[in-house]
Structure 1
C-alpha cells in the first residue's frame, strides 16, 4: 500500500466469501487512522475478509497488520 499517512482517505470494506469472489460491503470511508481503528475492533472472523483501498492500492487487513 503506497499511501501510508494517517490522514489518507481510504475505503475499508469487507468481502464476504472472499475465497468465492463474494460481495464487497463498505464499512468506512475516511482517514486511514480511523479505518485501522475500526478494522482492529472487528471480530477475528470479520477481519479475515477486510481490505483497505487507497487511491492507488488495495491491501488485505491481515497482510497490513502482519507485515
Structure 2
C-alpha cells in the first residue's frame, strides 16, 4: 500500500462471496485498522483498504 501514513484517508470495505462490496467506513488509516480489528475473525478475510492509488487486503497489510 503506497499511502501508509496514519492519517491517509482510506475506504474500509468487505468484499462478499457474491462479489458485492460493502463499505464499512471512510476515514484515516489508523481508525480503519482499529475498526477492521474489531470485526469478526471470519469477516476479516474479506476486508480491504483502498486509498486513491492502491488497494490491499487487510490481512496482508497486518501480516506484512
TM-score normalised by length of structure 1: 0.92
Q: Which residue of the partner structure matches residue 60 of structure 1?
A: 57
Q: CA deviation at 1:13?
A: 0.1
Consecutive unaligned residues of structure 2, counting only runs of 5 or more, are none
Q: CA deviation at 1:22?
A: 1.1
Q: Which residue of the partner structure matches residue 38 of structure 1?
A: 35
Summarize deviations over 1:34-67 as a string: whole Å, max 9, x none.
0000000111111000000011000000100111
Summarize deviations over 1:10-50 as a string: whole Å, max 9, x none.
00000001xxx610000000100000000001111110000
Consecutive unaligned residues of structure 1, counting only runs of 5 or more, are none
Report the RMSD for the aligned CA atoms in angstroms: 0.8
TM-score normalised by length of structure 2: 0.97
Runs of 4+ in 1 over 6 A off after TM superposition: none
